[in-house]
């Protein structure tokens, strides 16, 4: 299991949620909230798949956040 932490000052919660929906089929994803972070716990079938899923999920969430902020 790998834990990703998305700082609330940088990432939009809606973007993290949308990224979770897109990548849900590729592994086990669990979202939690902390005061300053959106926390996502990622479990993949293999260690390599888990690492790749983490990278893809983080990039996708960042891209959605950037797109959302430029549209405002």
- The token pair at 42 is 């990622």
Sheet containing strand 37-43, strands side by side = 2-7, 37-43, 28-33
In this structure, the number of other CB atoms found within 10 A of the CB of residue 14 comes to 12
pTM above 0.75, yes or no: yes
pLDDT above 90 (res 13):
yes
Q: Kindly list the structural domains of the chain, giving each domain's residue range(s) and its CATH number in brackets, ordered by start.
A: 2-71 (3.30.310)
What digits encode the pLDDT tens for the residues 34-66? 999 999 999 999 999 999 999 999 999 999 999
């Amino acid at each position: 299991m790998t834990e990703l932490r998305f700082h609330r000052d940088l990432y939009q919660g809606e973007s993290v949620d949308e990224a979770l929906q897109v990548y849900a089929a590729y592994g086990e994803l669990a979202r939690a909230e902390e005061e300053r972070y959106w926390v996502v716990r990622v479990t993949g079938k293999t260690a390599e798949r888990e690492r790749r899923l983490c990278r893809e999920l983080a990039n996708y969430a960042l891209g959605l956040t950037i797109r959302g902020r430029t549209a405002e």
